[in-house]
């Protein structure tokens, strides 16, 4: 009699073939789910049985997987079918995830109810170390710095000249709760980044969660601001900077003119990434991009949005194809912020 082993979900199985060619397949036994003493509870929310513990009421039993295939009158044919069944079983075992399941980490939840604040604590005092930390994060020279909430995907492996900008007031509209002897701060912030000599650009609008220790009237950051979903905490409402339409129109028009002055095609992301690949580009802004434009305010981010129509022409050279000209009409969304006392154009994207 010949014997061959094969892996299964519960250990090593065995195929035994006798001289007549009959096959017997043996699977190792495993406890029935929910009945055996080795049954681990996967639900961490079960208050009676902790995660990884066993069910004390169950008894060990045959899982039904320790089985023997029936012998075949046709000799080796039965063995062939048995091997095919084993192969199919192995494919199922691998596809169903024979390895350990992936784990994910989640940020701590913002406390919904606050304890009474310590005497002398103020909103400005609690926010100050958090906003200072975020301002320092804007000085980082990496696209995804540790201990900072901002991140940007790299469009190339070669990244240099990373420069972040923090827009608006990151502490404006932030919600504070005092729990477990520390302050929890949940807010929203907007950062932009340029890199590779300004040819690459990205904007990151994120929620953040930080904790602050009171330290007898000397608040300091206990856990740095980490990026969280803007929907994972209480509603954040920022103040409208009330940028006039005249000032917003002037900023947007200047932005379009700056984009049209570039000799690159396609344009960088802050100029909507317009155009095909080519050399010696000449851009022309056609008409007035703020004619019939509208202005709105987003209280979640603190950004002012100007939306309107544009037409740009792109004249450029392509190797072997010669001179090319493209007419590119569309609609845009220009984001503006109040950075300190000055309104600035954050970027222009296609709407």
The pLDDT of residue 36 is 39
Structure tokens at 279: 């050399």
Query: For residues 210 and 227, what is the distance between their CA atoms, to the nearest angstrom?
Result: 9
Mean pLDDT value of segment 166-193:
97
Please state, in angstroms and as integers, the Cα–Cα distance from residue 171 to each residue in 139, 149, 239, following that order.
Answer: 18, 14, 11
Query: For residues 346 and 189, what is the distance between their CA atoms, to the nearest angstrom?
Result: 13
Which pLDDT tens digit goes with each residue over 35-84? 333 333 333 333 333 333 333 333 333 433 344 444 434 445 555 555 55
Q: Which region among 6-10, 16-20, 228-232 has the lowest average model confidence (pLDDT)?
A: 6-10
- Please answer whether residues 314 and 325 qualify as being in contact, where contact means their C-beta atoms are separated by less than 8 angstroms: yes
The pLDDT of residue 322 is 92
Between residues 208 and 109, the one the model is more confident about: 208
Say if residue 151's pLDDT is above 70.
Answer: yes
Q: What's the pLDDT band for 10 if we cut at 50, 70, 90?
A: very low
Query: For residues 194 and 159, what is the distance between their CA atoms, to the nearest angstrom?
Result: 10
Name the residue among 160, 162, 161 with its Cα closest to residue 150. Answer: 162
Is 0.85 surpassed by the pTM of this model? no
Say if residue 106's pLDDT is above 70.
Answer: no
Structure tokens at 343: 């309104």
Q: What's the pLDDT band for 350 if we cut at 50, 70, 90?
A: very high
Mean pLDDT value of segment 333-347:
96
Which pLDDT tens digit goes with each residue over 216-251? 999 999 999 999 999 999 999 999 999 999 999 999
Mean pLDDT value of segment 107-130:
93
Mean pLDDT value of segment 167-188:
97
Write out the E strands in the chain: 2-8, 11-17, 23-26, 163-167, 175-179, 182-195, 200-213, 220-228, 279-286, 294-298, 303-318, 322-339, 342-350
Q: What's the pLDDT band for 173 if we cut at 50, 70, 90?
A: very high
């Amino acid at each position: 009699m010949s014997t061959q082993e094969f892996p299964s979900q519960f250990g090593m199985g065995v195929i035994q073939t006798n001289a007549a060619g009959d096959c017997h397949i043996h699977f190792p036994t495993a406890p029935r789910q929910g009945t055996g003493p080795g049954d681990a509870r996967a639900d961490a929310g079960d208050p009676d049985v902790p995660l990884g513990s066993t069910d004390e009421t169950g008894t060990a039993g045959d899982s039904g997987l320790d089985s023997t295939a029936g012998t075949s009158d046709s000799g080796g044919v039965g063995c062939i079918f048995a091997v095919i069944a084993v192969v199919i079983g192995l494919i199922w075992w691998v596809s169903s995830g024979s390895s350990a399941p992936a784990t994910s980490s989640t940020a701590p939840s913002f406390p919904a109810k606050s304890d009474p604040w310590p005497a002398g604590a103020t909103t400005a005092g609690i926010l100050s170390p958090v906003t200072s930390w975020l301002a320092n994060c804007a000085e980082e020279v990496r696209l995804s710095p540790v201990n900072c909430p901002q991140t940007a995907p790299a469009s190339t492996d070669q990244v240099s000249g990373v420069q972040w900008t923090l827009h608006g007031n990151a502490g404006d509209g932030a919600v504070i709760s005092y729990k477990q002897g520390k302050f929890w701060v949940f807010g929203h912030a907007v950062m932009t980044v340029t890199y590779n000599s300004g040819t690459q650009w990205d904007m990151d609008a994120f929620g953040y969660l930080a904790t602050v220790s009171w330290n007898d009237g000397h608040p300091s950051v206990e856990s740095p601001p980490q990026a969280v979903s803007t929907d994972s905490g209480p509603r954040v409402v920022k103040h409208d900077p009330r940028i006039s339409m005249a000032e917003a129109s002037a900023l947007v028009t200047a932005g379009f003119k700056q984009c049209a002055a570039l000799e690159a095609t396609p344009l960088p992301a802050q100029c909507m990434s317009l155009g095909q690949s080519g050399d010696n580009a000449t851009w022309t802004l056609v008409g007035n991009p703020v004619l019939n434009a509208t202005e709105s305010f987003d209280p979640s981010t603190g950004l002012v949005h100007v939306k309107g129509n544009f037409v740009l022409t792109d004249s450029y050279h392509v190797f072997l194809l010669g001179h090319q000209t493209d007419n590119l009409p569309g609609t845009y969304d220009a984001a503006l912020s109040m950075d300190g006392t000055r309104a600035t154009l954050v970027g222009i994207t296609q709407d």
